[in-house]
Structure 1
């Protein structure tokens, strides 16, 4: 087991898995990537196949302001919200993810001695999506239909491009956008992309890293972290905002992926900590195979 160059104990995630599928890690665009890059590089250099999926909402927001593109929000009737992605905003998101966020992650991994390859969901038909024909949004107390949105629902995953990178011993760094069957770019949810990719790769673990230490019953109180999250937590308003997207995606993945967790990106060895109980473990009861 490789020794951490900073003198810490060897990472328990290196080896020791009964199931040796890759670890899929998703980091949000607003989280500090440095601790995540430290651990991803450590795992990769030790020969542990690892896939890094990223979003970039905060960077896209900044870029939209710089380019003068208005940021608008779709507020779904169930209380979740998402970025309204018209043609101009899709350009902003693509530029932000592929031109700003991904190069920083790839450079950071290289600086740590780990080689990586950047991929979008549109590369090699990795993620094929269908455009959502109309979205419901609550505006001023009324529900209206949004028909110009360029977001999509992932319908098919071809993990071959990711496997090709893993086979070379490199880290795939994956992000939206996806494309439809005709090659049109579509924005897709990065948490959902990570979850679908983890399932397609027969991953040993999926870790969704964010700026909080898991699913919190009270967003202002870290002590209210829910250690084990199931489908019933989506009832009512226990899980709110963007966290609902993460929980839904993670629960679906947990039907086949043995370990699924949400945790804090800023911790030392955040992947290990999320899987070891510092985050929230997700399990869709009755669907997921028993741990081996």
Structure 2
């Protein structure tokens, strides 16, 4: 396992905070690292907040179950509005405000800003329901196709912390829901980050999803027991590891969660080794 020294010589750190993680300890840790001169990009999802907002406006939350068993949000036009409002109107301002309160200059961005993250809409989504495979053709989820990191580099060079989330935009400007772990992985690759930390509400990737003590300390492929959101997260981590020296999936529910992840906590992604695969960012998903 590589040590925390990778981020100490001004090596860029990309941190993804999941929707089930309490932000205060993460923001404290990020602020401490920025204080020492480490540049940080903070990426967030917001599925939990999107569910709350959907319930408040009376919109049923629907899911899609892929043939491989993973689940994602069914994103029709109404659901897309809710996701956008939740991420850009609730989650992001709270994170930016939390960093500002800690003396850290921060700016909030979505993937659509300045074409930061571009995606293509999935024309057909296969969903398994009652043993049948249904074809969904009106979903507004997308696959990430490219990243333009110049704006982030400018902000980082000015000493700011970019706080980034979905949605992305397709070529014509339409907003698309993309997986926030894939956003984090894609940005880490495009920025030549020293490390990527994916913080979640689990202690790491579990061999048995029902047993919190079954943390897999190192992995080089998607484990058989990984399902649901964790399967998406591991896929993103593996793609990032093709270019990023240190990738960790770890708990965001502990004290100093970023530091804990980089010094032995959670699951360290060991393969594929850097430089052996193409760019990350073609596997779609949902916030």
- Aligned 8 A contact 1:44 1:170 in 2: no
Q: Which runs of 5+ in 1 are unaligned?
A: 1-11
Between the aligned partners of 2:229 and 2:196, the Cα distance in structure 1 is 18
Q: Which residue of 1 aligns with 2:283?
A: none
Looking at structure 2, the residues matched to 23 and 287 of structure 1 have their Cα atoms a distance apart, in angstroms, of 16
The answer as to whether partners of 1:21 and 1:202 remain within 8 angstroms in 2 is: no
What aligned pairs does 1:1-292 form with structure 2 within 5 A after superposition?
A: 17=7, 20-231=10-221, 233-234=222-223, 237-286=224-273, 288=275
Q: Any unmatched runs of 5+ in structure 2?
A: 277-287
State the secondary structure of the residue aligned to 2:16. Answer: strand
Q: Which moved more, 1:203-212 or 1:62-71?
A: 62-71
TM-score, structure 2 normalization: 0.92
Note the C-alpha offset of 1:25.
0.2
SS in 1 for 2:138: coil
What is the rounded CA distance, in whole Å, between the counterparts of 1:20 and 1:34 in structure 2?
Answer: 23
Secondary structure at the aligned position of 2:26 is classed as: helix
Q: Provide the residue aligned with 1:5 in structure 2.
A: none
Shift of 1:21: 3.3
CA contact (8 A) 2:18 2:45 kept: yes
- Cα distance, 1:20 vs structure 2: 4.1
Structure 2 distance, partners of 1:90, 1:201, is 28
Name whichever of 280-289 and 141-150 sits farther off: 280-289
Q: Please say if residues 45 and 87 of structure 2, whose CA atoms lie closer than 8 Å, have aligned partners that are also in contact.
A: yes
Q: CA deviation at 1:84?
A: 0.3
**1:288 Cα deviation from its structure 2 partner:** 4.8
Counterpart in the other structure of 1:8: none
Distance (whole Å) between structure 1 residues aligned to residue 217 and residue 70 of structure 2: 22
- Aligned CA RMSD, in angstroms, stands at 1.5
Tell me, in whole angstroms, the C-alpha distance in 2 between the residues paired with 1:124 and 1:146.
Answer: 30
Question: What TM-score do you get using the length of structure 1 for normalisation?
Answer: 0.90
Q: Is this contact kept in 1: 2:181–2:198, CA < 8 A?
A: yes
Contact preservation (8 Å) 1:19, 1:204? no
Contact 1:258 / 1:288 at 8 angstroms: preserved in 2?
no
Q: Give, in angstroms, the shift of residue 286 of structure 1.
A: 4.8
Report the 3-state secondary structure (helix = DSSP H, G, I; strand = E; otherwise coil) of the residue aligned with 2:100.
helix
How far apart in 2 are the matches of 1:18 and 1:209?
20
Count of residue correspondences: 274
Separation of aligned partners in 2, 1:94 and 1:226: 34
Of structures 1 and 2, the larger Rg is shown by 1
Return the offset for 1:16.
Answer: 6.1
- Alpha-carbon distance in structure 2 between the residues aligned to 1:33 and 1:111: 13
Q: Do the aligned residues in 1 keep the contact of 2:7 with 2:13 (CA within 8 Å)?
A: no
